[in-house]
Amino acid sequence: MHKFPNIVVLVSIFLCFLSSFQTFGQHINTLTVHLNEETKELNIQQEFVFKNTSNYSLGYLYFNDWANAYSNKNTGLAKRFAEEFKKSLHLAKDNERGHTKILSAVDNEYRGLHWEREKNKDILKIRLNDPLPPNKTVKLFISYTVKLPMSKFTPYGYNNKGEYYLKDWYLTPAVYNGKWKLYSNKNLEDLYTDVTETTVNFNYPDSLSLTTNYRNLGTSKYPIRQLAQLKGIKQKSCEILLNTTKKFTTHVTPYMTVVTDIEAPKYNNIAQGISINNVTKFIHENLGEYPHPQLLVSQIDYNKSPLYGINQLPSFIRPYEQQFQFEMKFLKTALNSILRETIFLDPRKDQWVNQAIANYLLISYVEQHYPNQKLLGKLSKIWGIRSFNLAKMDFNDQYPFLYNVTARKNLDQSLTTPNDSLIKFNQKIANKYKAGQGLTYLGVYIGKEKIDESIKTFYKYYQSNTVKVLDFESILKRSTTTDINWFFNAYVSTDRKIDFKIKNVKKYKDSLIITLKNKEGTNVPISVFGLQKDSVVSKYWFTDIEEERTFTIPKKGEDKLVLNYDKKIPEFNQRDNWKSLKGFLSSNRKLKLQFFQDAENPDYNQIFYVPTISFNIYDGWSPGMRLHNKTLLRKPFIYDFSPSYSFREKAFVGYGRLSYQKLLSKTGLYLANYSIRGSTFHFQENSRYSTITPSISFGWKPDNLRSNKREILSFRYVNVFRSRDENLGDFETPPDYSVLNARYRNSNNGIIDYSSWFIDAQHANDFSKLVFEWEFRKLFQNNRQLNLRFFAGKFLRNKTTGYSDPNFYSFALDRPTDYLFDYSYLGRSEDSGLYSQQIIISEGGFKSMLQNPYANDWMATTNASINLWKWIEVYGDAGFMKNKGLKERFVYDAGVRLNLVTDYFELYLPFYSNNGWEISQPNYEEKIRFIITVSPKTLIGLFTRKWF
């Protein structure tokens, strides 16, 4: 094990002492708090001694007032929720919100202080009456009331049981290091505040039990009330949980005192105590001594950052043993709490360091105590599941796997990306896992013991003090003589992917000459393993492969060479990581036919099959078998075929698709997609349509990956072939036709503000047309939602007027003919009955079925609706349409819309239109229209959109 030079240790201790001397007691904070159960308010008297440790005089002081982030719909928190398709705070009633009401602010001479709020409402700016010189202090007295929010927005606030979770609930000093660090509350658990010595005198009802992360100096009982005095030294924010019953238990271990309510209903208390002792021992040995009197490990904290994956399944199908499940929950929550309470990095910009340490220790704990634990747990032994590659993955394989979820989507972001600029999946999962896996990667390269020692050294000398990433970096670099600049310059600081391949191997009598190619240009070390009958016989590390390099290694009986065989490197693509030494044919991957979708197995060409069933009224229920190569991680080349059998038509139907997706960059022109697809179904009894459509599309997105704005330019050539039952007569139009279609779409899909528009051009032998469509949705602050849509279409030429059915290609008011077969009609040829009432909002977008609803010259319509109460809306449509040789006519309709799930399940009840008062006309039920979406992919998009 590498030993640090004595002089380095002495310098580190000296610097730590100086930092500790400067930091300790720099701010002194005393709060007297009264909880009013009826109003859900905290009445606070705060005495704050602010010490200016900078080299500049300060005329203003800034305080974090994160409780005020719940005050309205325009705060940073509300905007963050809107980006993630959460409108709970936007729709909240005023009495459900939280806010801070400042009553008075004076200095130590009791002179009034001017204060104001910053733009996002949760930063308080106080102007001092006199500038505060360096190394001087000023005392402030602030009186204010905090109205607590309901806990349905975040865990913070109060719930329906009369319980409270108080976190970031009082004014705390913002950090000044030559520049004020002002971070708004965005529900990211990253409050950036200076270290204080804080005393809280907390008055609360005697019906509640109090638990805190601070030291409880004692509780005094009064009639129906009680007073607790809480003390925190060199700590940040005080957390308080108030429960109607005593949920928390205290565990005094040889290593630290733990207060916890982590839930484990099927794991008895004695066993829990043993597990807590084991976990705290591991933390003490691998991190160091916890400096505070007690550690709070709460279920609420765990819920904020759970063990993502199959452990979130309902408890009756949990795949893990209770001991493993409990210890991993406890360990993860404890590590996050410890690092948050002791390592004071910038939590918004430098969060990756704490995440790397926490997840590295989680990986180490599993390696040490549960080396054979599988990702699927007990499910991996069940027949029918155990053959899946996912079932063969170790528990720790999830770290590179889940990082690659966004990497394969080209949505991965560097570890140095600020917390509030990460997409949700990266912020919650991928970047944390990449950070932890990165230290594991570095450990197998320079030696795990050096990483372990560096973490302990960093924690020992920098806990409870101001610290920078450079401090952690310098300790790691001093632990080894090996160059590890690549780790910080390439792995941490960029979003460039890691991807190598074995390009060529030449065999000689006593040596192998291998050529390695760096496919992504990320210059990091890569490991090469030599295998003989699946046993490792050699291992090498190669570095400085900027593009391509050739190396010579001794021959040790290898029959296969594999890159990254132990999967410690979060590599982008492992399908080209191995090369057989047995000959050309043996280098080809074998074909593997497998039921259902699975994780990628780089040793095989996987074909997945899964039973399917589809429905339309002509084919009826059509069972089939879908064959595809789509793994759980996205691949560039996809084939997808789904042949089915129509029992009603006694014929085969289905679809097929080949596509290749090229990821170009993170932003700007980021995607090119090439595909060809075909389908064949029936559109009437014994009448079949078939389509073959080659296409190419390009996608653009802005620099901000969290933005929902997208631009797409697509070109396709739709070829349609139709055959018709002879009993139904000949086609009124040519049965076969082709249409060249170009479309540009610009959309910004937000839950508060939604806008989308496109220009569409079509050209065929008999017509050319141009279309513009614009759609807008706005959720106002009074919770009214306005929906607007405008459509305009014009034939540039139209030779179809001589057909016996001149409206086949015409614009339609309410139910397009869908000659391109784009829409999921359940009965596309129906003009009466229930299936004819299905509506897809396209072209005219009308809901009433008017006479002569087609236009073969031009059409312009507007659709509007606004809600009356929740999902009940009124709608109105109006427009003009014109046929050749006829005068344009004005059309309109109005009614009630039941907007249960927008674009997925809606009902339209027409009241009035050109037809008159429809509600009073006979057979009204036949006039009701409905939208229904049964596509699983579309429905799943409702849940995944907030993550990506």
Q: At 55, which amino acid appears?
A: N
Residues 185 and 154 sit within 8 Å (Cβ to Cβ): no
Find the CATH number of the domain harbouring 576.
2.60.40.10
**What pLDDT band is residue 15 in, cutting at 50, 70 and 90?**
very low
Q: At 806, which amino acid appears?
A: P
Predicted confidence (pLDDT) at residue 85 exceeds the cutoff of 80: yes
Question: Tokens standing for 185?
Answer: 């509350």
> Same domain, yes or no, for 730 and 808?
yes
**What pLDDT band is residue 943 in, cutting at 50, 70 and 90?**
low
3-state secondary structure string across 741-782: EEEEEEEEECCCEEEEEEEEEEECCCEEEEEEEEEEEEECCC
Strands 295-297 and 257-260: parallel
Q: Return d(Cα 96, Cα 584) in angstroms, integer.
A: 69
Domain-embedded: residue 578: yes
Q: What is the pLDDT of residue 586?
A: 56
Strands 58-64 and 41-51: unpaired
CA dihedral of residues 266, 270, 276, 278 (deg, nearest 10): -110
Predicted confidence (pLDDT) at residue 442 exceeds the cutoff of 50: yes
Domain-embedded: residue 345: yes
pLDDT 10s digits, 682-705: 999 999 999 999 999 999 999 999
3-state secondary structure of 149: coil
Can you give the length of the chain in residues? 948
Among residues 406, 333, 425, 389, the alpha carbon closest in space to that of 567 is found at: 389
**What pLDDT band is residue 19 in, cutting at 50, 70 and 90?**
very low
> Same domain, yes or no, for 457 and 584?
no
Residues of the chain above pLDDT 70, percent:
95
Predicted confidence (pLDDT) at residue 396 exceeds the cutoff of 90: yes
pLDDT 10s digits, 255-314: 999 999 998 888 999 999 999 999 999 999 999 999 999 999 999 999 999 988 766 666
Helix (H) or strand (E) holding 424: helix 424-425
848: region left, alpha or beta (phi > 0 left; psi from -120 to 50 alpha): beta
Question: Tokens standing for 379?
Answer: 């499910």
Residues 173 and 61 sit within 8 Å (Cβ to Cβ): yes
> Same domain, yes or no, for 147 and 187?
yes
Q: What is the pLDDT of residue 123?
A: 97
Among residues 602, 619, 661, the alpha carbon closest in space to that of 410 is found at: 661
Task: Considering only the C-alpha atoms of the chain, give the largest distance between any 2 of them, rounded to a whole number of Å.
Answer: 100
Helix (H) or strand (E) holding 354: helix 351-369
Other Cβ atoms closer than 10 A to 177: 12
Residues 78 and 90 sit within 8 Å (Cβ to Cβ): yes
Q: What is the pLDDT of residue 445?
A: 97
Domain-embedded: residue 688: no
End-to-end CA distance of the chain: 43
Q: Return d(Cα 386, Cα 397) in angstroms, integer.
A: 16
Q: What is the pLDDT of residue 935?
A: 64
Q: What is the pLDDT of residue 725?
A: 86
Give the mean pLDDT of 531-544. 92
3-state secondary structure of 255: coil
Residues 446 and 479 sit within 8 Å (Cβ to Cβ): yes
Half-sphere exposure of 651 (CA within 13 A, CB side): 13
> Same domain, yes or no, for 217 and 332?
no
Domain-embedded: residue 685: no
Give the mean pLDDT of 96-105. 96
Predicted confidence (pLDDT) at residue 433 exceeds the cutoff of 80: yes
Residues 851 and 814 sit within 8 Å (Cβ to Cβ): no
Q: What is the pLDDT of residue 466?
A: 82
| Residue 114 phi, psi dihedral angles, 5° rounding | -80, 135
E strand map for 764-888? 767-779, 785-798, 811-812, 854-855, 858-869, 872-882
Q: What is the pLDDT of residue 10?
A: 41
Q: Return d(Cα 759, Cα 772) in angstroms, integer.
A: 5
Q: Return d(Cα 332, Cα 895) in angstroms, integer.
A: 54
Give Cβ neighbours of residue 779 (< 8 Å, ≥ 6 apart).
Answer: 87, 90, 751, 752, 753, 785
Residues 626 and 612 sit within 8 Å (Cβ to Cβ): yes
> Same domain, yes or no, for 404 and 439?
yes
Q: What is the pLDDT of residue 20?
A: 40
Q: In total, how many domains does the chain have?
A: 5
Predicted confidence (pLDDT) at residue 462 exceeds the cutoff of 60: yes
pLDDT 10s digits, 188-225: 999 999 889 999 999 999 999 999 999 999 999 989 99
Domain-embedded: residue 17: no
Which residue is listed with tokens 């036709």? 737
Give the mean pLDDT of 767-783. 92
Residues 173 and 196 sit within 8 Å (Cβ to Cβ): yes
Domain-embedded: residue 260: no
Among residues 770, 915, 784, the alpha carbon closest in space to that of 847 is found at: 915
Residues 291 and 235 sit within 8 Å (Cβ to Cβ): no
Residue 838 per-residue DSSP state: B
Residues 335 and 365 sit within 8 Å (Cβ to Cβ): no
Our measurement of the distance from residue 790's CA atom to the centroid of its chain's CA atoms, rounded to an integer in Å, reads 32
> Same domain, yes or no, for 419 and 531?
no
User: Is the four-CA dihedral 381, 384, 387, 389 of positive or negative sign?
Assistant: negative
Find the CATH number of the domain harbouring 142.
2.60.40.1730
> Same domain, yes or no, for 535 and 643?
no
Burial class (CB in 10 A: 0-12, 13-18, 19+), 816: buried
Give the pTM.
0.91
Of 419-423, 615-619, 731-735, the poorest mean pLDDT is in: 731-735
**What pLDDT band is residue 806 in, cutting at 50, 70 and 90?**
confident
Q: Return d(Cα 55, Cα 576) in angstroms, integer.
A: 57
Of 83-92, 767-776, 846-855, the poorest mean pLDDT is in: 83-92
Exposure pattern of 476-499 as b/e (b: 16+ CB <10 Å)? bbbbbeeebebbbebbbeebbbbb
Domain-embedded: residue 674: no
> Same domain, yes or no, for 215 and 331?
no
Give Cβ neighbours of residue 705 (< 8 Å, ≥ 6 apart).
Answer: 411, 413, 421, 423, 666, 667
> Same domain, yes or no, for 524 and 569?
yes
Residues 516 and 542 sit within 8 Å (Cβ to Cβ): yes
Residue 5 per-residue DSSP state: -
Q: Return d(Cα 361, Cα 436) in angstroms, integer.
A: 8
802: region left, alpha or beta (phi > 0 left; psi from -120 to 50 alpha): alpha
3-state secondary structure of 209: strand
User: Is the four-CA dihedral 816, 817, 821, 827 of positive or negative sign?
Assistant: positive
pLDDT 10s digits, 344-374: 999 999 999 999 999 999 999 999 999 999 9
Q: Which of 588, 604, 628 is the last residue of a domain?
A: 588
Residues 717 and 680 sit within 8 Å (Cβ to Cβ): no
User: Is the four-CA dihedral 8, 13, 14, 15 of positive or negative sign?
Assistant: positive
**What pLDDT band is residue 153 in, cutting at 50, 70 and 90?**
very high
**What pLDDT band is residue 432 in, cutting at 50, 70 and 90?**
very high
Range of the domain at 803: 702-715+722-737+748-944
Q: At 563, which amino acid appears?
A: L
Domain-embedded: residue 105: yes
Which residue is listed with tokens 């819309």? 897
Q: Return d(Cα 831, Cα 837) in angstroms, integer.
A: 8
pLDDT 10s digits, 559-581: 899 999 999 999 999 888 988 88
Give Cβ neighbours of residue 229 (< 8 Å, ≥ 6 apart).
Answer: 199, 200, 201, 202, 216, 217, 218, 219
Among residues 315, 29, 344, 316, the alpha carbon closest in space to that of 177 is found at: 344
Give Cβ neighbours of residue 948 (< 8 Å, ≥ 6 apart).
Answer: 406, 409, 411, 423, 424, 425
Question: Tokens standing for 835?
Answer: 């299936």
> Same domain, yes or no, for 148 and 221?
yes
Q: What is the pLDDT of residue 441?
A: 97
Cα Rg for the chain, rounded, in angstroms? 33
Other Cβ atoms closer than 10 A to 58: 18
Residues 148 and 40 sit within 8 Å (Cβ to Cβ): yes
Q: Return d(Cα 705, Cα 421) in angstroms, integer.
A: 8
Q: What is the pLDDT of residue 2?
A: 40
Q: What is the pLDDT of residue 654?
A: 96
Find the CATH number of the domain harbouring 430.
1.10.390.10
Q: What is the pLDDT of residue 13?
A: 40
Give the mean pLDDT of 730-746. 92
Averaged confidence pLDDT in the chain: 91
> Same domain, yes or no, for 529 and 446?
no
E strand map for 450-569? 465-466, 500-507, 511-518, 526-532, 535-542, 548-554, 560-563
> Same domain, yes or no, for 283 and 312?
yes
pLDDT 10s digits, 472-529: 999 999 999 999 999 999 999 999 999 999 999 999 989 999 999 999 999 999 999 9
